[in-house]
Chains A and B, each alone.
Chain A
Amino acid sequence: DIQLTQSPSFLSASVGDRVTITCRASQGISSYLAWYQQKLGRAPKLLIYSASTLQSGVPSRFSGSGSGTEFTLTISSLQPEDFATYYCQQVINYPFTFGPGTKVDFK
């Protein structure tokens, strides 16, 4: 199975900060990576697919980059509604594993 790691696990930030989350895969996955945002008690929401394609309706402050084994999710200017947990997921090989998540909280 392909393992995904995320760093950091927890991040304290302020409104307006630039935030970067990294996802690393245990083997190359080309660009078969998605990023999700999940708020407490809610279903995950797709932000980015194919590593860098912004899902329709997602604000442009979110961006994704990377290929192979290292990927990043960047929020250019953190907004109050962005405080949540973020997960990456690889969709190249079964099982379609998720990363362990990065919780973004108020500083």
Chain B
Amino acid sequence: QLVESGGGLVQPGRSLRLSCTASGFTLGDYAVSWVRQAPGKGLEWVGFITNKADGGTTEYAASLKGRVSISTNYSESIVYLQLNSLKTEDTAVYYCTRGGFNWGQGTLVTVSS
């Protein structure tokens, strides 16, 4: 199971850290992606962190590169998505997913002044 948290209302230019807490499996054994969906829009891949054996390396969507980072706390089974310099167009529901097989329920981030 995956559960996202940390969303909310944030002003443009601020930062936010989202959490994805895993249970029922060993987080370090799997890669995790973040995907977002703006209101009324389609799915957009945000980024990805590989499993522990593959070094926990990261990849990001070009549109977000420089403003986003993904990290993992293996002992707490949490994957983080750090969003910086937020823009109104970052308003979306953010999902974490284990290879597309398991998804969290999503957490809504609203960027507005």
Contact = CB atoms under 8 A, between A and B. Distances in A.
A98 B95 CA distance: 14
B100 A91 contact: yes
B65 to A, nearest CB: 10
A15 B35 CA distance: 31
Mostly, the B contact residues are: strand
A98 B44 contact: yes
Interface centre among A38, A95, A99 (most CB of B within 10 A): A95
Interface in B42-87: 42-45, 48, 59-62
Mostly, the A contact residues are: loop
A95 B103 contact: no
B62 A1 contact: yes
B43 A87 contact: yes
B5 interface: no
Nearest to B58: A94
Contacts, number: 48
Given A43-B104, A95-B59, A100-B42, 15 more contacts: A1-B62, A34-B100, A44-B35, A44-B43, A45-B103, A87-B42, A87-B43, A94-B59, A95-B45, A95-B62, A98-B35, A98-B42, A98-B44, A101-B42, A101-B43
Interface of B: 33, 35, 42-45, 48, 59-62, 95, 97, 100-101, 103-106
Give me the 7 closest cross-chain CB pairs, A-B, nearest first: A43-B103, A94-B59, A98-B43, A96-B45, A101-B42, A95-B61, A46-B100
25 contacts: A1-B62, A34-B100, A38-B43, A43-B95, A43-B103, A43-B104, A44-B43, A44-B95, A44-B97, A44-B100, A46-B100, A49-B100, A49-B101, A55-B101, A87-B42, A87-B43, A94-B48, A94-B59, A95-B45, A95-B59, A95-B60, A95-B62, A98-B35, A98-B43, A99-B42
